[in-house]
Amino acid sequence: MDYVNAHLLWSVDELKSRLQDSKLVLMDMRPPEAYSNGHIPGARSFDIFGISLIDTRPEPLHAFLWMMEHLIQAKGVNTDSTVVVYDDIAGMRSARLFWFLEFFGHDDVHMLNGGFNAWQAAGLPTTHESSIPKSGNFKMEPRPERLATVEDVRANLNNPSIVIVDTRSDGEYTGQVVRSARGGAIPGAVHLEWTNNLDAKGFFKPADELKTMYAEQNITPEKEVIPHCQGAYRSAHTYLALRLIGYPKVRNYLGSWGEWGNRLDLPIEHPNRA
Q: What is the number of other CB atoms lying within 10 angstroms of the CB of residue 261?
A: 24
Torsion of CA 69, 58, 166, 170, to 10 degrees: 90
Active site residues: 229
Position 50 scores a pLDDT of 84
Over the stretch 164-180, which tens digit does the pLDDT of each residue have?
Answer: 999 999 999 999 999 99
Domain end call among 86, 121, 156? 121
Residue 274 has pLDDT above 60, yes or no: no
Over the stretch 46-104, which tens digit does the pLDDT of each residue have?
Answer: 999 889 999 999 999 999 999 999 999 999 999 999 999 999 999 999 999 999 999 99
Q: What is the number of domains present in the chain?
A: 2
How would residue 273 be classed by pLDDT, with cut points 50, 70 and 90? low
Number of H helices and E strands in the chain, helices first, is 10, 10
| CATH code for the domain of 103 | 3.40.250.10
Do 13 and 117 lie in one domain? The reply is yes
Do 154 and 256 lie in one domain? The reply is yes
Torsion of CA 203, 204, 206, 207, to 10 degrees: -160
How would residue 272 be classed by pLDDT, with cut points 50, 70 and 90? confident
Do 114 and 170 lie in one domain? The reply is no
| Cα–Cα distance measured from residue 43 to residue 85, given in angstroms and rounded to the nearest whole number | 9
Q: Looking at the domain assignment, is residue 217 inside a domain?
A: yes
Domain end call among 121, 153, 178? 121
Do 113 and 148 lie in one domain? The reply is no
Q: Looking at the domain assignment, is residue 58 inside a domain?
A: yes
Position 1 scores a pLDDT of 58
Do 148 and 100 lie in one domain? The reply is no
| Cα–Cα distance measured from residue 86 to residue 27, given in angstroms and rounded to the nearest whole number | 6
Residue 2 has pLDDT above 80, yes or no: yes
Do 10 and 107 lie in one domain? The reply is yes
Q: Looking at the domain assignment, is residue 168 inside a domain?
A: yes
Q: What is the mean pLDDT of residues 16-44?
A: 97
| Cα–Cα distance measured from residue 168 to residue 191, given in angstroms and rounded to the nearest whole number | 8
Q: Give the domain extent around 45.
A: 6-121
Q: Looking at the domain assignment, is residue 126 inside a domain?
A: no
Specify the amino acid at residue 70: H
Candidates 191, 250, 255, 254; CA nearest to 217 is 191
On average, the pLDDT of the chain sits at 97
Helix axes 92-103 and 234-244, enclosed angle (nearest 10)? 70
Q: Looking at the domain assignment, is residue 61 inside a domain?
A: yes
